[in-house]
Chain A
Amino acid sequence: MTITKMKLSDILKQFKYIEPDAEFSVRSRTEILLSPQAAPRTWRSVFTVLHMVETGAAVALAGFFIFILAGSFSPTRSIAPIQYAVIDPAGLHAEAQAIDMQIQLTDVEYPQVTSTAATSTASAAISSAFAGAVAAQPTSSVSVSTLTAAPVVPTSTASTTALSVDQVLQQLSQ
């Protein structure tokens, strides 16, 4: 048993003397050195980002020149000490007029509903809608539809003046 172990040990020790064939070594080294080397991964990322920046800058520059050619943007106006808008009477007048219009709008009393112009179609629509709603109520003992079908004819110009919601409610609460 001991003898067998010693033989095996000797055999294993002899493995360290194993060497490749000299010609094979040279050929392999040459092939490795001549093969194309890939750039490190980090550098590839940098190159990709730079390429994107380059493309973006090109697009932005192209857009800038398109604006100039189209006349929508004048670099001289933007960087000039006195911009044309400051001395342009038309622009100044338009802005001032917009403020005057807003002042007029503010002065207008907002309708408190209203009924200032008595639109017959609107009135008729509301009347018919309400008449239908009330007619559907079983508790109503009076036929409203009969009354809506025979409205009282206005007797004077003053009586055709439309009233506000609050004026009507005031009258009907008495």
Chain B
Amino acid sequence: MTVSAMAAIFATIFCVAGFHAPVAHAADCGITASDLDQITAIQNDPSLDASDEIKQELAVRKQLVGVTIICAQQEVQVLQTNLQNVSVESDMRSLQSQMMGDLNESDDFYNTELTKLSVVGIAGTKAIAQEVLAWRANTFIPLNEDINDLVLWNQNQDLFNTAQTRMTQTQQAVSYLEGVAPDADLQAAFNAAQSSFSTAQSENAAAKASLLGNLSPNQTYALIKQSLASLSDTYDNFSTVSALIKKNLPQ
């Protein structure tokens, strides 16, 4: 028994056990409404003359915009970690590389905005906040959703492989029992399991095609959810089939 064979056995055990790498989550930033209220407080402070008011408001705005951008960079780092931890199929590697490149560009964008922040006035801080907000809506958030979809889809493949193994074993058992003592209920339940599993596989394949085809992240997400729902239905049918097999076994 070679070392590689032993490793393969352990890997199979992990797969069958449904082991998943946990999805890391973004760090908390902790910016509250009261932090933003500092600006209003400065503007309404009668003890400040106009010059001091502008200086203090500018400082607060710079700090808040800066902290927010740094927080957004943490979000990028979390996604980079998630994406690096995904072991994708060969035909999805280029997509993974492309996403990683997009994340690097996102980090560069945030660094550029932070650099700009150091030389602007109050109006400039507002413009930077607006620019980052618009960029996130158009570029980053769709990328974020795409990466989450890829991670989710990849995690689901272990579940599908396990279900496929169970389907094969169940088919073997049903074929044997049908040969010994035909049972219409058993055959019907097994057909239902096959049907729902086929649906789940189709939806799973469609979700992959959606990812590779750069379709809408929401569309991919919907397909992923549907595939899992169909897989769950398959296990309901497996449960029925299992009970009927047990009933048909000689006591």
Is A45's CB within 8 Å of the partner chain B?
no
Q: How large is the interface on B (under 10, 10 to 19, 20 to 34, 35 or more residues)?
A: 35 or more
Is B92's CB within 8 Å of the partner chain A?
no
CB closest chain-B residue, reference A121? B30
What B residues does A95 contact at CB under 8 A?
18, 159, 162-163, 166, 235
Structural contact, B232 and A86, CB atoms closer than 8 A: no
- Out of B26, B37, B62, B236, name the residue touching A159 (CB < 8 Å): B37
Cα A134 to Cα B17 with chains together (Å): 50
Task: With both chains docked as a complex, state the minimum distance between the C-beta of B116 and any C-beta of chain A, in angstroms.
Answer: 11
Structural contact, A130 and B28, CB atoms closer than 8 A: no
Known: A95-B235, A162-B29. Contact between A82 and B249, CB under 8 A? yes
- Residues of chain A from 141 to 170 with CB closer than 8 A to chain B in the complex: 141-144, 146-148, 151-156, 158-163, 165-166, 168-170
- Out of B28, B56, B70, B229, name the residue touching A103 (CB < 8 Å): B229
Taking chain B's interface residues, is the majority helix, strand, or loop, or is none over half, making it mixed?
A: helix
Cα A141 to Cα B234 with chains together (Å): 66
Is A36's CB within 8 Å of the partner chain B?
no
Cα A81 to Cα B141 with chains together (Å): 51
Structural contact, B59 and A116, CB atoms closer than 8 A: no
Cα A171 to Cα B58 with chains together (Å): 15
Structural contact, B118 and A115, CB atoms closer than 8 A: no
Structural contact, B232 and A165, CB atoms closer than 8 A: no
Task: With both chains docked as a complex, state the minimum distance between the C-beta of A134 and any C-beta of chain B, in angstroms.
Answer: 6
Is A74's CB within 8 Å of the partner chain B?
no
Cα A65 to Cα B187 with chains together (Å): 38
Cα A94 to Cα B71 with chains together (Å): 38
Structural contact, B62 and A115, CB atoms closer than 8 A: no
Structural contact, B28 and A114, CB atoms closer than 8 A: yes
Structural contact, B118 and A126, CB atoms closer than 8 A: no
Structural contact, A160 and B31, CB atoms closer than 8 A: no
Is A123's CB within 8 Å of the partner chain B?
yes
Which A positions have Cβ atoms within 8 angstroms of B?
59-60, 63, 66, 81-83, 85-87, 89, 92, 94-96, 98-100, 102-103, 105-107, 110-120, 122-123, 126-127, 129-131, 133-134, 137, 139-144, 146-148, 151-156, 158-163, 165-166, 168-174
Instruction: Given contact pairs A60-B1, A130-B67, enumerate 7 new A-B contacts (beta carbons under 8 Å).
Output: A95-B18, A95-B166, A106-B221, A141-B58, A153-B34, A170-B133, A174-B126
